[in-house]
Amino acid sequence: MPDSAPLLAVSEVSVRFGGVSALADVDFCIEKGTVTALIGPNGAGKTTLLGAITGMVGISQGRVALCGRDITALPPHVRARHGVVRTFQNLEVFANMTVLENVMTGRHALVPYGILDGILRTPRFRAGERACREAALEKLEFVGLADKKDILAGELPYGSQRLLEMARAVAAEPVLLLLDEPAAGLNTQETKALAGLIARVRDELGITVGLVEHDMDLVMGISDAVTVLHFGAVLATGTPAQVQADPDVVAAYLGD
């Protein structure tokens, strides 16, 4: 069951680009242990909100809190160290590195050695690399790509590259994983498998998930809560059933 305080709390956040308001006084929460979806038409501000949460987009006003701690002023890499990890709409794999090496890059934020250890290849470096490799292999097994560990990432089919992104993200052991349109470009079978994987990330790994997605079957099938953005403002928040029945949401986004 979710804690009384949300894992993530976005309070009255506004983002402006010049004279254009991308987000206006947005309140958005993600409860611990849930899959929470953020939906809305193109241009509604969904990706901008993810950027505000991760620190990649500066906010004009408002507050972002993680586990009750104000992280509004923290840069992206510090927020990542606190456990906020995201994926992107476009594939972001290292094509000329192996599948295993890609996942290890996600894990390297957690290694206990420094640059000098790496240069000198100290015992601490070697032990850290072994642990990093083992953890990366575990995550590849989790997403079903362990048998592809030595293949160059660029040689994987598109759907498998999406799984590789997921493995790399969870290898960082986030407390909050933000997925930006993870089903983009996937076929029906791949999308169904993705839905099961996201549920397993929540249930088996204990990672809270924030999801931006246009595939409504996916959203409504796995989400515990849904927030709808429209023209940079929150239009509705509730369970999938509540949102689907909201006449304003139907008129603005879902249709008949």
DSSP symbols for 111-122 = -S--HHHHHHT-
Neighbours of 254 (CB within 10 A): 15
Q: Say which residue the tokens 């640059």 belong to.
A: 115
pTM exceeding the 0.85 threshold for the entire prediction:
yes
Sequential DSSP letters for 45-65: SHHHHHHHHHTSS--SEEEEE
pLDDT of residue 178: 97
* pLDDT computed for residue 251 by the predictor: 85
Residue with tokens 């476009």: 90
Q: Which residues contact 141 (CB under 8 A, 6 or more apart)?
A: none
Sheet strand arrangement including 8-17: 20-30, 8-17, 61-66, 69-70
Helix, strand, or coil (residue 70): strand
Per the DSSP assignment, residues forming a β-bridge with 210 are 36, 178
CA distance 192 to 68: 34
pLDDT of residue 1: 40
pLDDT value of position 119: 73
Fold of 1-83+176-256: Rossmann fold (3.40.50)
Mean pLDDT per block of 10 residues along the chain (256 residues) reads 76 92 96 96 93 95 96 94 90 92 83 66 72 91 96 96 95 95 94 96 97 94 96 95 91 71
Dihedral angle computed from the Cα positions of residues 197, 187, 42 and 242, in that order, rounded to the nearest 10 degrees:
-50
Which phi and psi (to 5°) does residue 115 adopt?
-60, -40
41 and 73 Cβ atoms separated by less than 8 Å: no
Query: Could you write out the DSSP letters of every residue in 185-251?
Result: T--HHHHHHHHHHHHHHHHTT--EEEEE-S-HHHHHHH-SEEEEEETTEEEEEE-HHHHHH-HHHII
H or E stretch including 84? Answer: strand 84-86
For the chain, the structural domain boundaries read: 1-83+176-256, 93-173
pLDDT score recorded for residue 254: 67
Query: Residue 118's pLDDT is what?
Result: 66
User: What are the structure tokens assigned to 84, written together?
Assistant: 């906020």
**How many degrees, rounded to 5, is the angle at CA 154 between CA 148 and CA 157?**
65
Task: Return d(Cα 66, Cα 6) in angstroms, integer.
Answer: 8
Tokens of 70: 């104000």
Q: With contact defined as beta carbons under 8 Å apart, do 26 and 14 qualify?
A: yes
